[in-house]
């Protein structure tokens, strides 16, 4: 298995400290704080390990504080309810004695019901598109030193954007994107694992969509996730190509709002995502360097 994917699976394999208490480590992704998707995925792993025979169908999370890459994260699970069909869990991620994320998740037994979905929009197949790593490598000599590690970082996912951005010369475009993605190697048939990995990767590219109409890149902005929600509609495999279709209906008050729909290659809508995040231009920063949002 690819080393990068093995490392990610290791991050999601939390250490159990007590029945409802888990501990995880972090991975540096080239940002000054812990990647939000990592904490989200780990929180879902913690919740899932207290549930038997039911799959997560939705989660809602708030990012409260910047995570420290160099310190472990403790996840405390509250077993809120175990009903006949649904199970509810609440998770608090704690670092340095303070919560950095809170998450509520709901799990359900598998049962039949009404079934429909909106169709997947047209998109070129991933084989016709370039990998984002190759595209970023061409910009490496021209990006500022402080963000170079972000462009150099090798990721356990392959991303192939339909319309890749030039971060050095951003232009104003419609607030919508399409990106194919998948993990770098084959995974076991473990649906809870695939859903936790989908939670992890869903934090990529979404908030950025809110910047597209303004002709700015993340290098000119202070950006941070505020909250994140996912609805899992159908079984998913993250080791097969998935299309992430995003749009941003609004940005205001130093916040951007993004929506996402994730489709299988066969056109099945497997998940929906929504996120609001902080977006500030550097010249408008009012808090001391490194201070939390």
Catalytic residue annotation: 203, 225, 275
Which residues have CB under 8 Å from 293's CB, separation 6+? 66, 222, 224, 226, 278
Give how far the C-alpha of residue 161 lies from the chain's centroid of Cα atoms, to the nearest Å.
Answer: 16
Contact 26, 67 (CB under 8 A): yes
Tell me how crowded residue 145 is: count the other CB atoms within 10 A of its CB.
6
CB 71 within 8 A of CB 96: yes
Taking each helix axis from N to C terminus, what angle separates 191-201 and 36-48, rounded to the nearest 10 degrees?
A: 160
Task: Check the CA dihedral 253-220-261-197 and report its sign.
Answer: negative
CA separation for the pair 278, 257 (Å, rounded) = 9
């Amino acid at each position: 298995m690819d080393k990068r994917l093995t490392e990610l699976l290791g991050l999601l394999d939390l250490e159990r400290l007590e029945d409802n208490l888990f501990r995880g480590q972090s991975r540096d992704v080239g940002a000054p704080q812990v990647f939000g998707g990592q904490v989200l995925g780990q929180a879902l792993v913690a919740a899932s390990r207290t549930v038997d025979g039911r799959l997560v169908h939705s989660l809602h999370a708030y990012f409260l504080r910047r995570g420290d890459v160099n310190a472990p994260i403790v996840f405390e699970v509250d077993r809120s309810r175990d009903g006949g069909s649904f199970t509810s869990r609440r998770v608090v991620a704690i670092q340095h004695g303070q919560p950095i994320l809170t998450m509520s998740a709901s799990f359900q037994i598998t049962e039949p019901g009404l079934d429909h979905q909106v169709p997947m929009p047209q998109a070129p197949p991933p084989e016709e598109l370039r990998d984002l790593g190759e595209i970023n490598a061409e910009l490496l000599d021209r990006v500022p030193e402080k963000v170079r590690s972000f462009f150099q970082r090798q990721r356990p996912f392959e991303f192939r954007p339909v319309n890749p951005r030039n971060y050095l010369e951003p232009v104003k475009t419609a607030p919508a994107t399409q990106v194919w993605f998948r993990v770098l190697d084959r995974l076991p048939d473990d649906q809870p694992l695939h859903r936790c990995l989908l939670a992890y990767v869903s934090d990529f590219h979404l908030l950025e969509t809110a910047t597209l109409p303004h002709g700015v890149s993340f290098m000119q902005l202070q950006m941070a996730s505020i909250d994140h929600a996912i609805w899992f509609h159908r079984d998913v495999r993250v080791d097969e190509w998935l299309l992430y279709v995003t749009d941003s209906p609004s940005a205001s008050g130093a916040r951007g709002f993004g929506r996402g729909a994730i489709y299988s290659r066969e056109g099945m809508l497997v998940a929906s995502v929504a996120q609001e995040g902080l977006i500030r231009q550097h010249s408008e920063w009012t808090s001391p360097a490194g201070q939390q949002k």
